[in-house]
Structure 1
Amino acid sequence: MSKRFAGVIGYLVIVICVLLVSGILGLSFKQLVSVTIFVSFIAGSLFYWPFRNAFALAGVALLLIFQVLDIPHLIEFAQLDLI
């Protein structure tokens, strides 16, 4: 098994396990989505460090799509005034 394939399998196993455990714990839909996206961002950053910004951008986009995060809160808490 190649190292690349092992990384993909590891990433998917972590994200699916967190999704299942979150569902078993009885989290609401928005909580389930936010925890799963957060873990996928962290796991993606750990397994694929050069692509960490892509995982972060995809995570924020998914949070906006699923309406877990809205634009006013994104602007307020992203500390864009520091950039």
Structure 2
Amino acid sequence: MISPIVLDIENKSIKTTDRATLLSVFAIFGDLTSAGVNVIIGKTADISTTSAFITCTAMCVCAYALLFVYRKKESQKINVEGQVN
């Protein structure tokens, strides 16, 4: 569902000539992350459904925190570039 948005962000964030290489690295990282998340959620679901939902909630909170940090660093980068130019 969010794949088109993620692909758009990845494409816009790459400014080098090695676009294909970096897109491949992004794809590998995404695949490894999703495989790891599936294993973790599966193991916690074996314990109980409640623990699986708690794990999913914790992962979502971590992802939101990482997004917040990324956006803060991006805004600082844009501010610094604006002051230099």
* TM > 0.5: no
Higher helix share: 2
Higher relative contact order (CA 8 A, sep 6+): 1
For normalisation by structure 1, the TM-score amounts to: 0.41
Q: Specify the structure having the higher radius of gyration (Cα).
A: 2
